Amino acid sequence: MIARILLATAAATALASAATSPAMAAAPKVAAKTAEIPATLDGGDIDGFVAALQDAGYRAKLKIDDDGDRYIESAASGSSFTIHFIDCEGEAGCKSVRFLAWWPKPDALNIATMNEWNDGYRMARATIDSDNDIVLDYYHSLVGGVTTANFLDNFDWWTILVADFRGFMDDKKASADPAKADVKGVSTADEGTSG
């Protein structure tokens, strides 16, 4: 009991000190959130998905494609991507979402390389599309609705997969075109670096 009281007193003192510090006094005020985030998201409320992502600190912008379909534009881990609502049935909403990222195909990547990725990862699929771009996608069902926490967890997994895939592509490009090494075995790419 005494430990709890001491811990609470220390925390209150730290908060009071921080609140009166000059750095805290100069900090800008954060605007109050205006959008109500539903506990359960469904495919008929695309705005709810945008609000949930923004509330979690992610960039999320609602866009409309040439066919009039709404989608979310976002980014994480240095890559832009989109979230498309698919299998939509009017008022009933959409049954699933497709997370989608794409990059121009480097020469070092081919179908065999995509299959190598696909054999190692169960949640995201890598392909080469008809425009010869590298495509990474990930599907998530919305049937019956999903909790906001579940959707954000899937979004977090997606951002990890995008970062992993970028690293995978970089590794494949580097191994296909290694920098010319000198006689000491030091790569010209390593010159001027230490560690």
State the average pLDDT over residues 134-159.
95
Domain that holds residue 99: 34-177
- Is residue 178 pLDDT above 70, yes or no? no
Give domain status of residue 9, yes or no: no
Residue 189 lies inside a defined structural domain of this protein: no
The domain that contains 161 carries what CATH number? 3.30.1460.70
Is position 185 within any domain? no
Residue 10 lies in a domain: no
**Inside any domain, residue 98:** yes
d(CA 145, CA 141): 8
Q: Could you tell me if 54 and 3 are in contact, meaning their C-beta atoms sit under 8 angstroms apart?
A: no
Residue 149: pLDDT band with limits 50, 70, 90: very high
How many structural domains is the chain composed of?
1
Greatest mean pLDDT among 34-38, 68-72, 177-181 lies in: 68-72
Asked whether residue 166 is assigned to any structural domain, the reply reads yes
pLDDT at position 35, please?
56
The H or E element spanning position 9 is helix 2-20
Tokens for 55?
Answer: 């509330």
Residue 186 has pLDDT above 90, yes or no: no
Report yes or no on 112 lying in a domain. yes
63 near 49, Cβ under 8 Å?
no
Residue 107 amino acid letter = D
What confidence tens digit (pLDDT) does each residue in 111-129 have? 999 999 999 988 999 999 9
* pTM for this entry: 0.70
Collapsed DSSP state (helix, strand, coil) of residue 98: strand
Looking at the domain assignment, is residue 106 inside a domain? yes
> Average pLDDT, stretch 66-87?
93
Q: What is the pLDDT of residue 112?
A: 95
Q: Residue 157: is its pLDDT beyond 60?
A: yes
